[in-house]
Homo-oligomer: A and B are copies of this chain.
Amino acid sequence: MEPAQALRADARHNRVRILEAAREAFATRGLDVPMAAIARRAGIGVATLYRRFPSRESLITEVFGDELATCASVVDEALADPDPWRGFCSAIEKVCTMQVADRGFTDAFLTAFPDAIDYERTRVRAEQGFAEVTRRAKAAGRLRADFDLADLTLLLKANCGVATGTSEAAAAGSRRLVAYLLQSFRAEHAEPLPPAPPLTLDFLYGSATVR
């Protein structure tokens, strides 16, 4: 993942400064913050930034690799919870909180990364873990049987819509939305639903691609 071995000491140092700056910048200004702004915040020149990360995408991938890993660990925690339903709920709540806190993270979920292998690998791992959480929660009779994995995407995208701005109000909105939806996800009193959207790429990512 990191060919950062052969780098000279100063280059290695700058590399982490770039990543810190990018994380901050993405979090507060979203994914399309100018590259120059990131460079300035890191206290380096634009050229250095471009040499280290040839495309904006590679930078994003690197930055959100960590946060995606956090997602995966959230799923692992959910799997470790003896109560499948509680695990299910807290996993969703945690991820949604992360989304609200970080605007770039929100965007990253909506954006297609044609060739970010590591990224995609972790994502798939988290997804499969969550599928297992789902399976258990259904088996325990707490999660409605017609819950579809696409409903997770649905919830995340809905949460994205609520998470505009980083204000406290957005956080409150997100909490409430999640509470509403979790209530609907419960097996008790479940009523028929329209079919889940197919989990195609253009639903996952809208039609957005990073430039």
Residues of A within 8 A of B (CB): 110, 150-151, 153-154, 157-162, 164-165, 167, 169-170, 172-173, 175-177, 179-181, 183-185, 188-189, 191, 193-198, 200, 202-203, 206-208
Contact = CB atoms under 8 A, between A and B. Distances in A.
Contacts of A180: 151, 180-181, 184-185, 193
Contact of A196 (B172, B191, B208): B172
6 tightest CB-CB pairs across the interface, nearest first?
A161-B161, A164-B206, A169-B203, A158-B158, A172-B197, A173-B197
Contact of A193 (B159, B179, B202, B203): B179
Nearest to A191: B183
A172 B194 contact: yes
Contact of A164 (B151, B200, B208): B208
A202 B157 contact: no
A151 to B, nearest CB: 7
A194 B206 contact: no
Nearest to A162: B157
